[in-house]
Every structure is written in C-alpha cells, then in structure tokens.
Amino acid sequence: MPDVAVTARVEQVYREESRRILATLIRLLGDFDLAEEALHEAFFVAVERWQRDGVPDNPRAWLVSTGRFKAIDVLRRRARFNASRPLLIAQLEALEQADWSDEDVEDDRLRLIFTCCHPALAADAQVPLTLREVCDLTTEEIARAFLSTPPTIAQRIVRAKAKIRDANIPYQVPTLAELPERLDSVLRVIYLVFNEGYSASVGAELTREELTREAIRLGRLLVELLPEPEVMGLLALMLLHEARRLARTSASGELIVLDEQDRSLWDAGMIAEGCALVARALKTRRFGPYCLQAAIAAVHAEAAKAGETDWPQIVGLYDVLVQAMPSPVIELNRAAALAKRDGPLAGLILIEGILQRGELLDYHLAHSARAEFCRQLGRVDEARAAYERALELTQQVPERRFIEGRLKGLE
C-alpha cells in the first residue's frame, strides 16, 4: 500500500480500536502508564512495519502483541538500571513467561470501566479516570463536563492511577453480589460519555458520533451483564436521544431545535427499541432517574408532530424526577416543559428563581432559555442581555451561530 494509505489505515485503527487495545494492555501489563506508553509505541511501529509488510489480518491483535513486547523491553531496561527492585523483576518475569496468542485479544473495556469506578477510588476521580482511559477524552473535555479546570482533573486522574497500582485494585468485572453498589458510578460515566458525543462541549460539530456509538455499545454490554431497571433506563435514554441525531442539524451544520426538526429523519428502529426498554423497566416499579428521563424522551418520540407532544405528561414526569434526583439542571428542563404547557411566563419565573439562588449562573443553556422566554414575552432588552451572556459561555460553534441568529432576530 502507498505510504499515505498505510498512514490513513493506522489512523483509522487508532480511532476505532485504540481504547480496546489499551484496555487489553492494561490487563496484560497491570500498569496504566506502562500500557499507555506501550500503546503509542505499538502504533509508532505500525506506521513503519505496515508499509513494509502490509497491514496484518488482525490489526488489533498485532498491536496488542507489539505493545506487550515493547513493554517488556521497557521493563528490561529499567531492571538493568535498578536490579534492586524485586517488584519490577517479578513483573518482568511474569510478562516474559505468560502465554500469548492472537486469540487472547478479548474486549476488556467493561473490565476497565469497573476498575476505574472501584469504590476504593475517590468519587470525584472515578468518572474522569474512566472518561480518560476508556474513551480517550482529553483532560480539557473532561474538565468542561465537570465545570472544573484541566489541572484539577489531571491531578485526580494521576492520584487514581497511583491508588489502583498501590492498592492492587483487581482488574476484573465484579461478582454479581458486588455489581449493584458499583453500578451508579458506571452509569454516570457512560452517560457523560454519551452527552459529550450528543452535544459536544466545544468544536465545529454539534455531535461526536463515535462517542454516542461507544456509550450505547457499553450500555448494551451492561444490560446483558446486569438487566436492572436503571441499566435498561440508561440504554433507552441514549437510544431515544440518538434516534434524533440526524434531524438535529441542517445540511450545512446549523442547529435545529426539537420543535422544528423533521421527524421523518428520526430513527424508528432506535425509538422502538428505546420505548420497549422503557416499558420493560417501568413494569418492575423499581425505576429511578434514568428510567424517568427515558420515559420523558419516549413521550417526545411518540409525538408524530411537535404540536402533538403530551406536555402535561412530561411535566408530571419531571415532577417525579425532581423528587427522585433534585438538580437545578432538571429544574431548568422542567421549566422549559412547564412553559410549553402553561406559557413562557411560567417558565421564566422558575428560571429566574434558579438563577437568583446562584445556581447555573455559568450554564449557557439557562441563559438561553431565559432569553427565549423573554423574547416570546416581548421583553427584547432582557432577551438580548440573556442571549449575550449565553454567547459568552458557549464554546460550541453551531450553538454560537444559533444564538447569534437569535440576537439578529431581535434587531
């Protein structure tokens, strides 16, 4: 293959397989940092070798094997310079003696998720670590998701890796008896991955399909592993949102709000699967926040036209959801639903109450919603100020263009 084609193939494999390869290397090597170093060494070698020998039949197995041998070389060098470290010598001997074959390349990402979400780790480190290691989000992307700073997130990740190493936290899927207590963090991780893909925090694109696809795949794995109501609820929620992805932007990439979307573009298969999961979960009567959010998404999905949406039912579901999981963001969403049922003034009163409490002051969607209600009420100056504040807080290009369009409309 020409050099350009090989390089493109290596880049494609990295995009599609690097997280699987990393997870397997962590299982084989027992060390996050060593596995990451081995991963990048393997891809570096691939660029040269694949040009000379051709792309292997099983690129993932080739890369895992190459990464493993690179890690052994690293440990040999370390052992030569510091033969007094018995743990290092033992690690090297175990790697050299371990059997290996291409068939040993299993999908270890679910195992990796549960390791990253181990209860021995600090709660504020579990999700960032998993987003970084399993999904390859940058510390900057994770920081935006947490409304934090990159140095803070990076420090949490470093501490979590050290804890896993020093405490010998097992790299395995928990037993069925242990699963429920470990599940909340895992669900939160998967949903944050999905949200970053469904509405990217920065950049020129509204969505990142590879992240939504990955989150849904992990959700399916969890449903197979533990078909609990909240697991089904999360998968249903992601499917029902993802079903609308193609309708959320125009051909030129402009944002299209829910009421104006072409519903014929919605994925009927995903909607049917999501609604079936919601019904299955609600029948257990052991549902929680994810099931309730999925139920709201199902009501939206079942409306053939925006004007046929059952807003009273949605407001009622939000009433239950606010009780189950108090959150200013959920209150904001409830305010938007209430405005659809009772008019913009009802929604505006609720949003101003949230902002007056000092909550969501740096959340652009709160200011966008306030601006929209002010615009509908003819309060142009207030709408302009709110849109301008939302624009200051928005880093995503399609959202910025949408807000700029609304400001021009006020003029």
In tens, the pLDDT along 305-324 reads 999 999 999 999 999 999 99
Cα-based torsion angle of the residue sequence 94, 97, 103, 106 in order, rounded to the nearest 10 degrees: 0
Q: Which pLDDT tens digit goes with each residue over 277-304?
A: 999 999 998 889 999 999 999 999 999 9
Q: What is the mean pLDDT of residues 226-245?
A: 95
- Residues 17 and 83 sit within 8 Å (Cβ to Cβ): no
Grouping H, G, I as helix, E, B as strand and the rest as coil, residue 292 is helix
**Confidence (pLDDT) at 131:** 83
Residue 160 has pLDDT above 90, yes or no: yes
Residue 94 has pLDDT above 80, yes or no: no
Return the minimum-mean-pLDDT range out of 144-153, 254-263, 350-359, 398-407: 144-153
Distance of CA 211 to the CA centre of its chain: 6
The residue behind tokens 């992240």 is 211
Q: What is the residue extent of each domain of the chain?
A: 3-105, 331-411
Structure tokens given for 192: 């944050």
Task: Round to whole Å and give the CA distance between 200 and 195.
Answer: 7
Residue 91 has pLDDT above 60, yes or no: no
Give 400: exposed, middle or buried? Use CB within 10 Å, 0-12, 13-18, 19+.
Answer: middle
**Confidence (pLDDT) at 86:** 56
Q: Angle formed by the axes of helices 150-166 and 32-53, to 10°? A: 100
- What one-letter code names the amino acid at 50? W
Residue spans of alpha helices (H) in 30-108: 32-53, 59-81, 86-97
**Confidence (pLDDT) at 336:** 97
Return the minimum-mean-pLDDT range out of 12-21, 30-39, 180-189, 201-210: 201-210
Task: Round to whole Å and give the CA distance between 17 and 98.
Answer: 23
CB contact set of 63 (below 8 Å; sequence gap of 6+): 13, 17, 21, 39, 42, 43, 46
* Confidence at 345, pLDDT banded by 50, 70, 90: very high
Task: Round to whole Å and give the CA distance between 240 and 17.
Answer: 26
Structure tokens given for 172: 């395995």
From residue 90, how far is each of 85, 169, 391, 396 by CA, in Å?
9, 18, 56, 49
Structure tokens given for 140: 């900057």
Percent of the chain with pLDDT over 90: 55
Nearest to 17 by CA among 138, 108, 130: 108
CB-side exposure of 34: number of CA atoms within 13 Å? 24
The residue behind tokens 């299209």 is 256
Q: What is the mean pLDDT of residues 383-392?
A: 96
* Confidence at 136, pLDDT banded by 50, 70, 90: confident
Task: Round to whole Å and give the CA distance between 392 and 385.
Answer: 11
Residue 30 has pLDDT above 90, yes or no: no
Return the minimum-mean-pLDDT range out of 52-56, 69-73, 389-393: 69-73
Secondary-structure class of domain 331-411 per CATH: mainly alpha
**Confidence (pLDDT) at 74:** 82
**Confidence (pLDDT) at 251:** 85
